[in-house]
Amino acid sequence: MAFCFESQSNNGTITDLFKSINFYGFSMTYEIELTLYEFLWQFKKNLEKDEITALYFWVLNQKYMRYLEDFDNDTYTEKVFDKEFGRSLAYKIYEPNDSNLEHETFEELKLHLCDFASEFDLSLVDEYTYEHIIEVVDMHGSSSNNPLPVF
């Protein structure tokens, strides 16, 4: 909700960040990307420890196949592979900065917000735009395959 609407607004004023990402998509300017990262940093800073852990698990789930493909499995038996691959994923959770999971988390959140913002046609903002955004936020928040905290 904070990504979509100004917090001081009772009438559903859409944030400039949301409008900018909607307009530019992944081709956003450096200034917009910096504003987005500041927003994401503040979002993450306000999460509880268990919510941050859940967010990391969400990222692992999003990137699981890539991690699996990148893991060198030629030298391991199946049992040893499972153990070592599991350890590599656990390392990411316990050492998010050293394992690059922190960076990957911000990139996944950025991707998620860009995809979300691109779902709307903001060329005509009317009284139904607010309701439509709320419906999509609810769909994203209640989706069983998207257990990401609602912004």
The band of 142, judged by pLDDT with boundaries at 50, 70 and 90, is: low
Question: Which two structure tokens, joined as six digits, stand for 55?
Answer: 């967010």
Model pLDDT, residue 138: 81
Q: Indicate whether 149 belongs to any domain.
A: no
Q: What is the pLDDT of residues 1-56, one digit of tens each?
A: 889 888 766 667 889 999 999 999 999 999 999 999 999 999 999 999 999 999 99
Ramachandran area for residue 25 (φ above 0: left; ψ -120 to 50: alpha; else beta): left
The band of 143, judged by pLDDT with boundaries at 50, 70 and 90, is: low
Average pLDDT taken over every residue of the chain: 87
Q: Indicate whether 147 belongs to any domain.
A: no
What residue type is 18 in one-letter code? F
Q: Indicate whether 101 belongs to any domain.
A: yes
Closest by CA to 4, choosing from 143, 130, 139, 142, is 130
Give the global pTM.
Answer: 0.81
Residues in Cβ contact with 54 at an 8 Å cutoff, skipping those fewer than 6 apart: 147, 149
Q: Indicate whether 135 belongs to any domain.
A: yes
Q: Indicate whether 113 belongs to any domain.
A: yes
Q: Indicate whether 9 belongs to any domain.
A: no
Of residues 151 and 99, more confidence is placed in 99
Q: Indicate whether 5 belongs to any domain.
A: no
Mean pLDDT along residues 116-136: 83
Q: Indicate whether 38 belongs to any domain.
A: yes
User: Any idea what DSSP says for residue 26?
Assistant: G
Q: For residue 120, what are the domain limits? A: 16-142
What is the number of structural domains in the chain? 1
